[in-house]
Structure 1
Amino acid sequence: MKRKVALVTGGYTGEAAVSFKSAEFVHSQLDKDRYDIYTITIAEDAWFHVDDAGIKIRVNREDFSLTIDGHLIKFDIACIILHGTPGEDGRLQGYFDMVGLPYTSCSALTSALTMNKGYTKAILADIPDLFLAKSVLLFDTDRHTGADKIKEQLQLPYFVKPNAGGSSIGMTKVKELSELSGALDKAFHAENTGKQVLIEEFVTGREFSQGIFRDATGNLVVLPATEVKTTREFFDFEAKYIPGLTEEITPADLSDEQQARASRILQDIYVRLNCRGMVRIDYFLEQETDRFYFIEINTIPGQTPQSFIPQQVRAFGMKEGDFYAALIEAALKN
């Protein structure tokens, strides 16, 4: 009998547009002979599925079910492809835990923790060979007084970003102190990002993004790395989603030692944060020292055809449909 899969997409932030594209690609790759797939949109005003006739059917939130033509549809699993809140910050995972529905992403606790960049760095602080850029975390109560703290503790240039955001929304590279106030306002005003701002010292080096997942046998699998080279000041929203602004090299040109070191650190991060399913970890290799500097972890990475994870899956020699099926089967076993 085919498994019934709720392919969950949408969300409450500007990342929703990317979520729809990701979900569309995942839907196109999954084996329809193996899975009955229902795309579920999570929006602030409604949770719903649109059937083949274009009719919008609301989700029963008591048990996350659908009723279509008088037939009750209950799902075997939720495949969460929803970037930002509520799919990446633990809210949806907590709900699924309460209704007893398995899901493909990290747990509610891990999702909530990793959505907070500052808290994540604190948990990872003592992993061998992992370095963290010096930083200051500001809360909403600090927004009018935090500039002095930043100037005292950090050296220019800075990266200023929402502490709980994604897709580089609200992020600014600050090269002059005169730019700091505007950058802080931009980060604090980013929609649904928690009213916390992280300011980090800039690390000069090569930038990489690399996926890791646990398969149905329980083994950790590290995918090939992608090196990111952009014509922009940094890898911002435009660089991520406007063609031609960024060169993405998969697999990245790394030495055997660098690959082994990155693989070891990625596995340590995955285990330390108690991750499940697939995650993507972004990092720098510092130009002068070759040190591995953690940037952030993404527990619901983009899944458009051009996204890093599909690129890496193909470079690994795996079909995307088999990869998504492996995530579903692993989640059903947990």
Structure 2
Amino acid sequence: MKKNIAIIMGGYSSEYKISLKSGNVVYNNLDKEKYNAYRIHIFKDKWVFVNDMEEEFSLDKNDFSVLVNETKINFDCVFNAIHGAPGEDGYMQAYFELLDIPQTSCSMYQAALTFNKRDLLATLKPHGIKTAESYYLNLGDTIDEDTIVARVGLPCFVKANKAGSSFGISKVYKKEDLKAAIDNSFNEDDEIIIEQYLDGVEVSVGVISYKGETTVLPITEIVSENDFFDYAAKYEGKSQEITPARISKDYEQKTRKLAKQIYDILGMKGFSRSEFIFKNDEPYLLEVNTVPGLTNESILPQQAAEAGISMEALFDNAIKEALRN
């Protein structure tokens, strides 16, 4: 009997357009012989099932069901394709856990932890994970540019603490430009992180649970045409994403080992994609994404393809792993 799969997409953050693209890629690649796939749009003002004729049917949040032509549909599994809130920060994970509905991403605690860059880095540092020097600000804090520059140097990156797809991030070269960059980050979040600039090779590595085993995918080297790997570089073709990465065997082994170590330390499941920059021949962690992009242009599907895993197999496995767990 075919399983009913809810593909949740959209969300409450600036990443909702990318999430809709990811969700539709999942929808188009699920085996229709095995699954009844439903596109579920999650927005602050509505949770709706959208059929192929773009008709909308409201979800019952009490049990995450939908009534279509007087037939109630419940779901066997949820495929999480929401980047940012509320799909990557733990809220949807907690909701489905309460309803006892399997879902494809990590659990609530891991999602909340990894979504908060400051907490993630603080958690991993005792395990010897190297990170850039950083400075934290909360909305309303006094901004002391001299202290910030003394801590992290110039240039530096100013980032929203809980945001993805490079929203709310700026590279700052001059002290007098810090205030504008900080204001930009506060447009996305009420917490920000200011980090030392690391000048080195940037790589991204996906780690997934595949057929019951933690699997490290081929590494991607990121070469941005812009000043850094920003939104345009990620989604508008302003970068080269080279898989497998053109790095030494030593770099590759260090990165693969570290990415798997992070996945295991955090007790992850589902998809993850970790970003690193090499400094003094060592990988420094930038962040971990637990609902990475799943569009045709996205890094993790490129890595899976290099490993011989098709989109259909990648998504099918995610559902099987969720149901098995």
Question: TM exceeds 0.5?
Answer: yes
* 1:79 aligned onto 2:70: no
What amino acid sits opposite 1:324 in the alignment? Answer: F
Range moving further from structure 2, 323-332 or 195-204: 323-332
**Distance in 1 between residues matched to 2:133 and 2:14, nearest whole Å:** 28
SS of residue in 1 equivalent to 2:130 = strand
* 1:196 aligned onto 2:191: yes
* 1:232 aligned onto 2:230: no
The Cα of 1:258 is off from its aligned counterpart by: 2.0
Q: Deviations over 1:123-171 (max 9, x none)?
A: 110334x3110001111131x3343431332211110000001011110
Structure-1 residue corresponding to 2:200: 205
Runs of 4+ in structure 1 off by over 4 angstroms are none
Contact 1:127-1:265 within 8 A present in 2 as well: no
**Distance in 2 between residues matched to 1:52 and 1:242, nearest whole Å:** 27
**Distance in 2 between residues matched to 1:251 and 1:216, nearest whole Å:** 22
Q: Deviations over 1:149-201 (max 9, x none)?
A: 313322111100000010111100011101101111110112xx3x0000000
Structure-2 residue corresponding to 1:319: 310
Contact 2:105-2:270 within 8 A present in 1 as well: yes
What percentage of aligned pairs have identical amino acids? Answer: 36
* 1:328 aligned onto 2:319: yes
* 1:141 aligned onto 2:137: no
Q: Mapping of 1:113-132 within 5 angstroms?
A: 113-128=113-128, 130-132=129-131
SS of residue in 2 equivalent to 1:260 = helix
**Aligned positions, number:** 325
Structure-2 residue corresponding to 1:282: 275
| 2:168 equivalent among 170, 189, 196 | 170
The runs of 5 or more residues in structure 2 that have no matched partner are: none
Structure-1 residue corresponding to 2:108: 108
The runs of 5 or more residues in structure 1 that have no matched partner are: none
**Distance in 1 between residues matched to 2:54 and 2:307, nearest whole Å:** 38
SS of residue in 2 equivalent to 1:136 = strand
Contact 1:65-1:74 within 8 A present in 2 as well: yes
Q: Deviations over 1:104-129 (max 9, x none)?
A: 0011111111111011000110334x
SS of residue in 2 equivalent to 1:110 = helix
Note the aligned Cα RMSD (angstroms).
1.2
- TM value normalised by structure 1: 0.95
* 1:156 aligned onto 2:154: yes
The Cα of 1:99 is off from its aligned counterpart by: 1.2
**Distance in 1 between residues matched to 2:59 and 2:194, nearest whole Å:** 40
Structure-2 residue corresponding to 1:295: 286
Contact 1:116-1:163 within 8 A present in 2 as well: yes
SS of residue in 1 equivalent to 2:44 = coil
Q: Mapping of 1:6-85 within 5 angstroms?
A: 6-85=6-85
